[in-house]
Chains A and B, each alone.
Chain A
Amino acid sequence: MEYFLSEEQKIIKKLAKRISDEYVSKVAIKYDKEGIFPKDILDLLAYTELTGVYIPKEYGGFGGGVMEMCLVVEELSRNCAGVAVSYAATALGAYPIILYGKEEQKKKYLPKIAKGELIAAFALTEADAGSDVSSIKTTAEKKGDYYILNGSKHWITNGGEADVYVVFAVTDKSKGPRGISAFIVEKGYEGFYCGKKEDKMGIRASSTTELIFEDCKVPKENLLGREGTGFIVAMKTFDRTRPGVAAMAVGIAQGAYEHAVRYAKERVQFGQPLSSFQAIQHMLADMYINIEAARAMLYSTCRMIDSGAKDFSKESSACKVFASDVAMKVTTDAVQIMGGNGYVKDYPVEKMMRDAKVTQIFEGANQIQRNIIASEIIKEY
């Protein structure tokens, strides 16, 4: 199904698929096993100009939007969600600059992100502030021409690998969520360190680390937006990047489904291929139905966002929840169809099942997403 993609979007999908099938598939198992950050794949994405698909043209990008970013993420995820999330995390770090950056900030960072010369990251989560964003404790105190950051961030995707981090810190504790501000912090700033690297269940090719700020000096011109707008910056960014998680989920599900179908046609039991058993056929049919539904939901949400709609939190959360639940179900079923071979690391579906799990957790756990959706529904009627 083409989903009415434009010719340009079809090209982006085709190019990303080629990189995924010809390069990502070759390294997926090794990078997962050894936890290797896919810099070589990111370099290929940079060469092919896919790193700039969602960056505005005036800053050296292709001028696409969330849809273009999601098409790349989806195709990379078909073979390795760890690679896909390493790509997508830069978008998560770039979107606050696209949305709230001052002209000088945009000119300084976006062209380099578009060219793949800079990897970005988004640093919000803390040990005691995951879904409860307003509880962050990292502080930023203005002193002369600098903000002095103190505190630490946890589970930061692209941590240690990124060149630019959008970091959220409290500038006025008395104001609660309205006292949070966002800053652009560059690798190498005094007092900025990378901490422990997480040993994760899935997306192991991606880097997830702790970040530590000890009297870290951030120039005052690196304040993103205005002081106290950090919470809005984070929420508006998430609204645009949650479909990226949905795209990752759709890609993982698609990859697992393709493996399961091929396996079911090849594997012979009781003298006939697995695919001839109706129990297996129904599982495959359900996989297809769910993936297509998730993809349709994802693409329609992307189109809505890119059309310039003002409020799309509900749709953005809904496609993330649905697609990630589909990914978990489809990958589990793919493992089931492949039996023992699905459960061992010789085939990629075992990895896909592990990778799928995180899509139900990060960028706001699915329970929180349901809160957002419910809150919007109740407001509407």
Chain B
Amino acid sequence: MKILVCIKQVVDPEKVEYNAQTKTIKRNAQYLMNNPADLSALEFALRIKDVYKDVHITTLSMGPAECESKIKELIEVGCDSCVLLSDKRLAGSDAYSTAYALAKAIEKLGNFDLILCGESSLDGETSIVPPQIAEYLNIPHIAFASNIKVLNIERIEVERKLKNLLFRFEVKLPALISVKKDSAFLRLPKLSFMIKALSYTPQILSVDDFENFDFDRVGAEGSKTSVDSFVEQSFEDVKCEIYDGIEDAQIECIADLVTRFL
């Protein structure tokens, strides 16, 4: 079984810097991290590989060369190969353009049985890249999965939680599934994989590698949406309530707060 996991390198939100003029987030290599929701997707892929030994996991990322150091971390947990789609002509792409470029890369890389993505990226939060990739590739798509189980070589079972409801889907492969952020936590690396990662270089793709690539669909110019402005949010107005009292009263207050805000 061939599994592809789309993994974006995002800027750590604690350290994010932006360029107000170009309206872009600065991708300083030292502050990059692999998008948490995508790592949940990767963990599902690794779990499938734990059970089925002939599984090959490829990861696909799109971004500047700085992303390479973070991509190596994917080899450290057991991915077989990693691909970085890196091309200056893709800079400024919105979700629509990104999905198109990723879909072209997936077509180029070959026939995958299962494509996994995180539900959204920390720095974009649109949640529309995964379904758009599926549309481009003309394969079924299930969003916001909380669990994935391979039934056999042709079918998988996908669970999605909605409050107290659990939806269970069965879908024929190939399919694309986007998973909820905290649905699985990525495992620790293994020493042997870390040694392998030392000398590993991801395969680099550029848009020149694709056939019939429509340049009008990518980059800032080809994007259908654009960032209007960055506005720093002030936290000065955040209200802080202090609940004093003995332990039981505090527990009651917490229970009340949880009920009110859930």
Q: Which residues of A contact B (CB under 8 A)?
A: 7-8, 11-12, 15, 18-19, 44, 47-50, 53, 62
Contacts and interface: CB of A to CB of B under 8 A. Distances in A.
A47 B188 contact: yes
A53 B194 CA distance: 13
A48 B198 contact: no
Interface string B175-192: 000000000000111111
A48 to B, nearest CB: 5
Nearest to B195: A8
Contact of B190 (A7, A8, A49, A53): A49
A11 B190 contact: no
Interface in B143-184: none
Given A7-B198, A11-B198, A53 B188 contact: no
Interface of B: 187-192, 194-195, 198
Contacts of A50: 191
Nearest to A11: B194
A107 to B, nearest CB: 21
Contacts, number: 29
B189 A15 contact: yes
A65 to B, nearest CB: 15
A12 B192 CA distance: 10
A19 B191 contact: no
A47 B190 contact: yes
In terms of DSSP, what is the predominant structure of the interface of chain A? helix
A120 B13 CA distance: 45
Contact of B188 (A8, A11, A19, A62): A19
Contacts of A44: 188
A50 B194 CA distance: 12
Nearest to B194: A11
B14 to A, nearest CB: 17
A47 B191 CA distance: 9
A47 B77 CA distance: 11
A49 B192 CA distance: 7
20 contacts: A7-B198, A8-B198, A11-B191, A11-B195, A15-B188, A15-B189, A15-B191, A15-B194, A18-B188, A44-B188, A47-B187, A47-B188, A47-B190, A48-B188, A48-B189, A48-B190, A49-B190, A49-B191, A49-B192, A53-B191
Contacts of A49: 190-192
Contacts of B191: 11-12, 15, 48-50, 53, 62
A11 B188 CA distance: 13
Contacts of B190: 47-49
A7 B198 CA distance: 8
Nearest to A49: B191
A47 B195 CA distance: 15
Contacts of B198: 7-8, 11
A49 B76 CA distance: 12
Contacts of A19: 188
A55 to B, nearest CB: 12
B116 to A, nearest CB: 22
